């Protein structure tokens, strides 16, 4: 009797769970009574197989995780370094990713991120003292990679602040200059920019700067124009490199934004790194006190010391941009179906993915070693230049394949890869073009300078 009651209870519970609208929809397509008869004829084993086939999740094989670090390149990071890497990754994925396409499209900078970035406490990681922790160049590279993996513009903003601007003061500044500016820059309370390139002088900056400085009783007087200067539209201080009219040597100056001789105009219409605010600077009898001249910048060799340090960071950024594009593309190809199958199951798509991963793995291995050399104090210009050339070239290839395997959606901003494709173009050109960096490596390996 009890057994019968429990069967009735089970049947009632079953009926309560039935969605009769769905059942009616199924009944319109199949002969339900006949189907029920066939089910009733199944033995227990056949029924078990059928249940397993129909229950969600059990029929699908779990796919491998999406991870562009195929060789576990970062396994030697200390637990402290790994924690910083994951902290930056979480920030980029949670705080930056949802915003970037909007800001990229509108050619604006997301100022609301600065406070959150400050909380990360990652600015100037390699410097010792002045509020900076003195961590490794490998750590700095990993941070650049993690940032660019989500967005190369934010990575560039950070690279200008932490690398070029703070680096100029750290490497070429006096004790007073370092103490005054670096702690506030580390906290992102003072934003910096780095002004080397000019409208008519890019690759030839070493010998060709036309912005002049003249030492007068009132101070140094700067005149001329600077182009492409990242962060310049809102930076509090701008490092300006100028040629001394007396001896022809290159000197560096910390110019504050409210200097009456300083004017900046935003460069509009960029098709890459649109979140980065690049400025065209005009210096008109811009007077800067001796205290604001970088005391240890006495020739272009000193400027080159800064560029050597930051060029490695750009190679890391290229690796990050490539990794972001590869991981987005892999994810997409596993979800997108054509001819009834995920496109990731097609041989030619897998060919693209494997070529992307090969180059990405080579890049990450290379930049890791590059920063190890930097940490060991044996990094030379040609080492950084080789990585900049290789990584930015390969990144262009990777982002273009990522776009290709995504078909039409590859050119839509909402799928992220289109942004990586565009941004890779700027990374390819700044901090020394492929040609200039190739000439640096060529000179080192052949013993002949092919610079003209
Ligand atoms: C988005 C972006 C951000 C930037 N941010 C900054 C910044 O913050 N601060 C800053 O100072 N600068 C910045 N730059 C400038 C950047 O560093 C220069 O664009 C770069 O150095 C190349 O100079 P150029 O654009 O004048 O090209 P050019 O020097 O005019 O070169 C044009 C072409 O000629 C080739 N070429 C030049 N000389 C030779 C040669 N001897 N042999 C063979 N080929 C040669 C180049 O490789 C290139 O292909 C930025 C640029 C961009 C695009």
What is the tens place of the pLDDT at every residue in 285-294? 999 999 999 9
The answer to whether the CB of 160 is under 6 A from ligand 1 is yes
Give me 297's structure tokens. 């910048």
Q: What is residue 14's predicted lDDT score, i.e. its pLDDT?
A: 53
The rounded distance, in Å, linking the Cα atoms of 325 and 333 is: 12
Tell me which residue of 223, 213, 279 sits closest to 248, measured CA to CA.
Answer: 213
Name the closest-CA residue to atom 42, ligand 1.
Answer: 435
84 C-alpha to ligand 1 centroid (Å): 33
Mean pLDDT of 426-438: 97
Q: What is residue 53's predicted lDDT score, i.e. its pLDDT?
A: 60
For residue 270, give Cα distances in angstroms to 39, 106, 117, 425: 64, 11, 25, 11
Distance from chain centroid for Cα 323: 9
CATH number of 193-300: 2.40.110.10
Mean pLDDT of 393-405: 98
pLDDT at 148 over 80: yes
Residue 4's pLDDT band (boundaries 50, 70, 90)?
A: low
Which of 228, 304, 419, 442 has the most ligand 1 atoms within 8 A of CB, as the residue to mutate?
228
Q: Give strand pairing partners of 240.
A: 195, 253
Q: Give strand pairing partners of 256.
A: 237
206 C-alpha to ligand 1 centroid (Å): 12
Give me 242's structure tokens. 């100028």
**Closest ligand 1 atom, residue 197 Cα:** 11
**Closest ligand 1 atom, residue 435 Cα:** 47
The answer to whether the CB of 198 is under 6 A from ligand 1 is no
447 C-alpha to ligand 1 centroid (Å): 25
For residue 397, give Cα distances in angstroms to 355, 360, 405: 9, 10, 13
93 C-alpha to ligand 1 centroid (Å): 31
pLDDT at 240 over 80: yes
**Closest ligand 1 atom, residue 432 Cα:** 21
Report phi then psi at 134, rounded to 5: 65, 40
The answer to whether the CB of 195 is under 6 A from ligand 1 is yes
415-445 as b/e: b if 16+ CB within 10 A: bbbbbbbbbbbbbbebbbbbebbbbbbbbee
225 C-alpha to ligand 1 centroid (Å): 15
The rounded distance, in Å, linking the Cα atoms of 30 and 32 is: 6
The answer to whether the CB of 426 is under 6 A from ligand 1 is yes
Q: What is residue 34's predicted lDDT score, i.e. its pLDDT?
A: 74
109 C-alpha to ligand 1 centroid (Å): 23
The answer to whether the CB of 430 is under 6 A from ligand 1 is yes
Which of 202, 306, 388, 436 has the most ligand 1 atoms within 8 A of CB, as the residue to mutate?
202
Q: What is residue 15's predicted lDDT score, i.e. its pLDDT?
A: 55
| Cα end-to-end distance, the chain, whole Å | 102
The rounded distance, in Å, linking the Cα atoms of 149 and 164 is: 20
429 C-alpha to ligand 1 centroid (Å): 6
Name the closest-CA residue to atom 1, ligand 1.
Answer: 426
Q: What is residue 10's predicted lDDT score, i.e. its pLDDT?
A: 59
pLDDT at 228 over 70: yes
Mean pLDDT of 384-390: 97
Percent of the chain's residues with pLDDT above 70 = 88
Mean pLDDT of 152-170: 98
Q: What is residue 357's predicted lDDT score, i.e. its pLDDT?
A: 98
Q: What is residue 31's predicted lDDT score, i.e. its pLDDT?
A: 73
Query: Can you give the pTM of this predicted structure?
Result: 0.88
Q: Any idea of the CA torsion for 14, 20, 23, 27, to the nearest 10 degrees? A: 130
Mean pLDDT of 73-100: 98
Mean pLDDT of 72-101: 98
Mean pLDDT of 91-103: 98
Same fold: 73-190 with 301-445: no
Q: What is residue 452's predicted lDDT score, i.e. its pLDDT?
A: 84
Residue-wise pLDDT for 128-140, tens only, equals 999 999 999 999 9
**Closest ligand 1 atom, residue 273 Cα:** 1
Which of 163, 197, 201 has the most ligand 1 atoms within 8 A of CB, as the residue to mutate?
197
Helix (H) or strand (E) segment spanning residue 324:
helix 300-335
Q: Which of 36-40, 299-303, 381-385 has the lowest mean pLDDT?
A: 36-40
Name the closest-CA residue to atom 43, ligand 1.
Answer: 435
The answer to whether the CB of 159 is under 6 A from ligand 1 is no
Name the closest-CA residue to atom 11, ligand 1.
Answer: 196
Q: What is residue 219's predicted lDDT score, i.e. its pLDDT?
A: 98
The answer to whether the CB of 420 is under 6 A from ligand 1 is no
pLDDT at 17 over 70: no
| Beta strand residue intervals within 115-261, DSSP E | 128-129, 132-133, 192-195, 212-216, 219-230, 237-244, 250-256
Which of 240, 278, 430 has the most ligand 1 atoms within 8 A of CB, as the residue to mutate?
430
Q: What is residue 436's predicted lDDT score, i.e. its pLDDT?
A: 97
The answer to whether the CB of 228 is under 6 A from ligand 1 is yes
Residue 48's pLDDT band (boundaries 50, 70, 90)?
A: low
Q: Which residue has tokens 């519970």? A: 13
Give me 351's structure tokens. 């060919």
Mean pLDDT of 247-272: 98
Helix (H) or strand (E) segment spanning residue 158:
helix 152-158
List the chain domain ranges.
73-190, 193-300, 301-445
pLDDT at 2 over 60: no
Residue 61's pLDDT band (boundaries 50, 70, 90)?
A: confident
Contact in structure between 230 and 161 (CB atoms under 8 Å): no
Q: What is residue 210's predicted lDDT score, i.e. its pLDDT?
A: 98
Question: CATH number of the domain at 301-445, out of 3.40.50.1100, 3.40.50.720, 2.10.109.10, 1.20.140.10?
Answer: 1.20.140.10
CATH number of 73-190: 1.10.540.10
Tell me which residue of 13, 380, 334, 317 sits closest to 156, measured CA to CA.
Answer: 317
For residue 447, give Cα distances in angstroms to 206, 405, 440: 20, 43, 10
Other Cβ atoms closer than 10 A to 274: 23
Mean pLDDT of 251-279: 98
Give me 102's structure tokens. 């909007």
Contact in structure between 124 and 185 (CB atoms under 8 Å): yes
pLDDT at 39 over 80: no
Q: Which of 40-44, 101-105, 219-223, 342-346 has the lowest mean pLDDT?
A: 40-44
């Amino acid at each position: 009797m009890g057994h019968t009651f429990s069967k009735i209870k089970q049947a009632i519970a079953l009926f309560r769970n039935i969605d009769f609208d769905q059942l009616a929809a199924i009944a319109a397509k199949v002969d339900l009574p006949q189907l029920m008869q066939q089910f009733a004829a199944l033995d227990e084993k056949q029924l078990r197989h059928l249940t397993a086939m129909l229950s969600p999740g059990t029929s699908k094989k779990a796919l491998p995780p999406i991870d562009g670090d195929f060789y576990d390149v970062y396994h030697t990071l200390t637990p402290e370094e790994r924690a910083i890497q994951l902290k930056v990754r979480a920030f980029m994925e949670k705080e930056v990713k949802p915003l970037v396409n909007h800001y990229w499209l509108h050619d604006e900078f997301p100022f609301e991120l600065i406070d959150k970035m400050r909380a990360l406490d990652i600015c100037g990681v390699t410097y010792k003292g002045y509020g900076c922790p003195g961590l490794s160049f490998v750590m700095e590279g990993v941070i650049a990679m993690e940032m660019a993996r989500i967005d190369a513009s934010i990575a560039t903003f950070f690279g200008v602040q932490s690398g070029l601007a703070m680096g100029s003061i750290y490497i070429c500044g006096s004790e007073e200059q370092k103490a005054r500016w670096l702690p506030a820059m580390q906290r992102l309370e003072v934003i910096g920019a780095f002004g080397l390139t000019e409208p008519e002088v890019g690759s030839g900056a070493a010998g060709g700067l036309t912005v002049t400085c003249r030492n007068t009783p009132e101070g140094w007087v700067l005149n001329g124009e600077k182009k492409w200067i990242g962060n310049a539209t809102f930076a509090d201080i701008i490092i300006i490199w100028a040629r001394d009219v007396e001896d022809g040597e290159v000197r560096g100056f910390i110019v504050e934004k409210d200097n009456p001789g300083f004017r900046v105009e935003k460069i509009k219409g960029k098709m890459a790194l649109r979140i980065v605010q690049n400025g065209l600077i005009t210096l008109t009898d811009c007077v800067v006190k001796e205290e604001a001249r970088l005391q240890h910048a006495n020739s272009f060799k000193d400027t080159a010391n800064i560029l050597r340090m930051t060029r490695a960071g750009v190679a890391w950024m290229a690796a990050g941009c490539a990794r972001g594009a590869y991981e987005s593309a892999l994810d997409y190809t596993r979800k997108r179906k054509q001819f009834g199958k995920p496109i990731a199951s097609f041989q030619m798509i897998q060919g693209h993915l494997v070529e992307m991963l090969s180059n990405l793995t080579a890049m990450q291995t290379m930049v890791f070693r590059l920063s190890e050399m930097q940490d060991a104090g044996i990094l030379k210009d040609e080492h950084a230049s080789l990585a900049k050339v290789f990584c930015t070239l390969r990144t262009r290839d990777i982002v273009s394949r990522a776009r290709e395997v995504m078909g039409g959606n590859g050119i839509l901003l909402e799928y992220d890869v289109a942004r990586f494709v565009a941004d890779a173009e700027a990374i390819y050109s700044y901090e020394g073009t492929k040609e200039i960096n190739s000439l640096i490596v060529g000179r080192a390996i052949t013993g002949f300078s092919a610079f003209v």
